[in-house]
Chains A and B, each alone.
Chain A
Amino acid sequence: MPGLPQPSDKAARLIAGGASLVASSVLADAGIEHYRGSFENRAMVLPLAGSALSILTDTRLALGARASGGTGALAMSVHAANVAIGAAGLGFHVYNILKQPGGFTFGNVFYHAPIAAPAALMVAGTLGATALALGKGASRLGPVPLASGRSLAGFAAFALAGTSAEAAVFHFRGAYHNPFMWVPVVVPPIAALALGKAAVTGTVGRITNPALTATAVLGFAGAAFHAYGVSRNMGGWRNWRQNLIVGPPIPAPPSFTGIAIAGLGALLLMRRFARG
């Protein structure tokens, strides 16, 4: 039925929106951090290019555009490339930490390439590819079944847990000096557990939706808190060129929002699947 909405379109658009947010978070965060690293390795531009292209394709899909034929194939290759860039980035970041004096120490994990950050690009790629496949009406992404929503729920749960773990590490680095710093290490894991349980059992518990919604909200609230954190550095926002770099990363928390939105998309798929 060309031209008519596919049954899973709303979920696909939601997931694409989430993917787009995660990619935006990666673009801005890696942009600042890799600029700080003076693009010392030329490969440091790759996540910027990959996430930028991903934003384009995801946003098109989120706004309701159809991806088919050539553009669809191109978009799918962008997502595949992002998963590959993210995986390579993980390797580079681990290597960067291990080559420092002392090797794998808290200090090196705190202050050198953030160990898990490139995984966000893999998340963006996977979510983008999922949204694209669903948008085309496909019931599988490669060998992974999509229609039941359970695989996506499981993936989003894993991504939330990972992102929360990263927040835990860096908020530990900041000594949890502000009690609100505990929120992203408490709320997203609840959402991740609920979503993970839904993925395993196929039924959605009562707290799943509110926990995901709360996680989505705290992603944006986190950006606001980080902006406040920037202001608490010497010179505050007047010294933004320095403090944007040394302060807490403003673009990082919205990746929670992106993943939570994708998780809400997974819930939509699951409900629809349950209704048959």
Chain B
Amino acid sequence: MSAEAQAPRALNGQAPDVFTPGGWVPMREYGEEEVDFLIVGTGAGGGTLACKLAEAGFSVVAMDAGAYWRPLEDFASDEHEQGKLYWNDDRIVDGDNPLKLGANNSGKAVGGSTVHYMMVSLRFRPEWFKSRSKLGYGVDWPLDWREMWTYYREVEEALSISGPVTYPWGPKRPRYPYRAHPLNGPARYLVEGAEKLGIQWTETPIATLSAPRGKAHPCVYRGFCMAGCSTNAKQSALNTWLPRALSAGAEIRDLAMAGRIESREGRVTGVHYRREGEWRFQKAKNVVVAGYAVETPRLLLNSASPECPDGLANSSGLVGKNLMVHLNQSVFGRTQDDARFYKAPPSLAVSEHWNYEDAGKDYHGGWCYMPPGPLAASWARLVAGKGLWGQDLLDEMHRYNNAVGLKMVGEVLPYERNQVTLTDQADEYGLPVPRITFSYGENEQAMIRHALGFMDQALDVVGITDRWQNPDETAHLLGTARMGSDPATSVVDADCRSWDIPNLWICDGSVFPTSGGVNPSLTIQAIACRTGDRIAELARRGEL
């Protein structure tokens, strides 16, 4: 359904209560009055920051282009229906390796892609924050890992992350708030393979509950995580940060598509957005763009003005540049017994061995691997993509219970040529459709070769037969408005404040200077928590 055909729910002083079918919670409304912060996007970055800022006492309006769902009643066990959670608007992709956009790298809902994320909540390896000076590739972040360690902790506690009692890699970290989940079938194969190959593994720290928390139930291992969790066990922005934001006085506007940020005399003044079929304007003292690595640069570029002809915050020319993804290649094969890899959160075990081990690599960067658990239709598409059709495809689907695999999350280096630009084509809102250009470099090809070979071996040693490789998948979108310590080579500073416009902030995956070999949601939220604290601190000092 197009967003235009849906009706907003967060209206008339109330917002949907995500914990109660048909329920409502009170919501403060600001009307058109100028607010302290207008946040565009309510996912891992925007949702988290909305909570932090509202709790710090600022007036906050957070808007999202997507709908405000109540998971208990709105989410079906149906992959097709749940496509409603993805950002499937028109986009043009090109480059040597055009990205597949949608399910695996976007979200269009209040809560953003955390509503259907895989919940894998890994911390960055500390050296990655200084990968140029410590590891010799990419660029340094302006952040210190020890400070990030405390913000990671804040997020882990806010989401009651279930994780192992002790973590085998990196500097000591506190115990995860909740205990790890039982291993599902494919995770057991990962563990056995890792033990046979003599590398370490652990239960994946994951944002789904292993014990009750407030009104949220513990995970029932239904396995529809990537299509949205219908039990609220998944700890998303939708059911963690946003309820907190609401009770702290934030307003959330669902089905509100930001089109253009207004600016004047070196400051932004508000955002033009479309809701209920009409364009409106919200005034704000500060604007935070948190639309993820395609929509964020798109909005900044589309807000070009005579003062900023190349788009807002773009004096470095880097808005839209250095787009990164994660390598998400996989190896699949067949077990003798039932593995049922579609049950439970798929990625319940992980090996970060190749994130922390640098020896023996002919490339820069790291990768981890976990078992994937494609749902039936996705699996059918995947195996049909191998050329199976007719009876062969039916036979393969009959063996769905016996399929297992391993999937990498691998670091992609920042290249300026990988970028988001605007086209002349207009979308349903009349906004320019973005063009996303992406190509692997030699480094990525080398990492893929190594990872596919290693994962193949890890499946071979535990007796997985009929193995085949899926060499062409990516996940996540990062890095089109990078943070840094030099205005000439970055878009925002360590506080996510744009160098060019002091009341314009960017807070999502686009600020990543490098991508790291882990899923980004925990780091995005940690950055948002830090940004929230920094903004409160700057306000106290009168530096906003």
Contact = CB atoms under 8 A, between A and B. Distances in A.
- Interaction A to B: yes
A245 to B, nearest CB: 11
B220 A174 contact: no
A256 B211 CA distance: 23
Given A177-B212, A233-B220, A102 B191 contact: yes
Given A101-B191, A233-B212, A234-B231, A106 B164 contact: yes
B188 to A, nearest CB: 5
A107 B166 CA distance: 11
B210 A175 contact: yes
| Interface of B (DSSP majority class) | loop
A53 to B, nearest CB: 33
A172 interface: yes
Interface in B166-202: 177-180, 182-183, 188, 191-192, 195, 201
Contacts of B178: 175, 177
Given A107-B203, A172-B179, A233-B220, A177 B195 contact: no
Nearest to A231: B212
Given A101-B188, A101-B192, A233-B220, A111 B177 contact: no
Nearest to A246: B220
Interface in A63-98: none
A233 B216 CA distance: 9
Contact of A107 (B177, B183, B192): B183
Contacts of A111: 182-183
Contacts, number: 55
Contacts of B165: 106
Contacts of A100: 188
A232 interface: yes
Contacts of B177: 175
A175 B220 contact: no
A173 B188 CA distance: 19
B183 A101 contact: yes
A173 B179 CA distance: 6
Contacts of B160: 175
B213 interface: yes
B217 A233 contact: yes
Nearest to B180: A107
A110 interface: yes
A118 B164 CA distance: 26
Interface residues on A, range: 10 to 19
B182 A233 contact: no
A245 B368 CA distance: 34
A174 B177 CA distance: 10
Interface in B205-232: 210-213, 217-218, 220, 231
B218 A233 contact: yes
A102 B195 contact: yes
Nearest to B217: A234
Interface in B102-137: none
A229 interface: yes
Given A233-B220, A234-B217, A234-B220, A175 B192 contact: no
B217 A110 contact: no
Contacts of A106: 164-165, 179-180
B182 A101 contact: no
Interface string A197-235: 000000000000000000000000000000001001110
B234 to A, nearest CB: 12
A205 to B, nearest CB: 36
B211 to A, nearest CB: 5
B179 A110 contact: yes
B182 A107 contact: yes
A175 B217 contact: no
A246 B217 CA distance: 12
Nearest to B183: A107
A177 B214 CA distance: 10
B211 A110 contact: no
Contacts of A233: 212, 217-218, 220
A68 B218 CA distance: 52
A232 B179 contact: no
B221 to A, nearest CB: 9
B353 to A, nearest CB: 15
Nearest to A176: B211
Contacts of B220: 233-234, 242, 246
A106 B210 CA distance: 14
Interface string B91-104: 00000000000000
Interface string A167-198: 00000111101000000000000000000000
Nearest to B231: A234
A175 B191 contact: no
Contacts of B188: 100-101
A110 B220 CA distance: 16
Nearest to A103: B195
B212 A110 contact: no
B464 to A, nearest CB: 14
Contacts of B203: 107
A101 B195 contact: yes
B463 to A, nearest CB: 13
Contacts of B191: 101-102
A177 B211 contact: yes
A99 B496 CA distance: 50
Contacts of B183: 101, 107, 111
Given A175-B178, A242-B220, A246-B218, 9 more contacts: A106-B179, A106-B180, A107-B183, A110-B179, A173-B179, A175-B211, A177-B212, A234-B233, A246-B220
Interface of B: 160, 164-165, 177-180, 182-183, 188, 191-192, 195, 201, 203, 210-213, 217-218, 220, 231, 233
9 interchain residue pairs of minimum CB distance: A111-B182, A101-B191, A232-B212, A234-B217, A175-B178, A177-B211, A174-B211, A101-B192, A234-B231
13 contacts: A102-B195, A107-B182, A111-B183, A174-B179, A175-B178, A175-B210, A177-B212, A232-B212, A233-B217, A234-B217, A234-B218, A234-B231, A242-B220
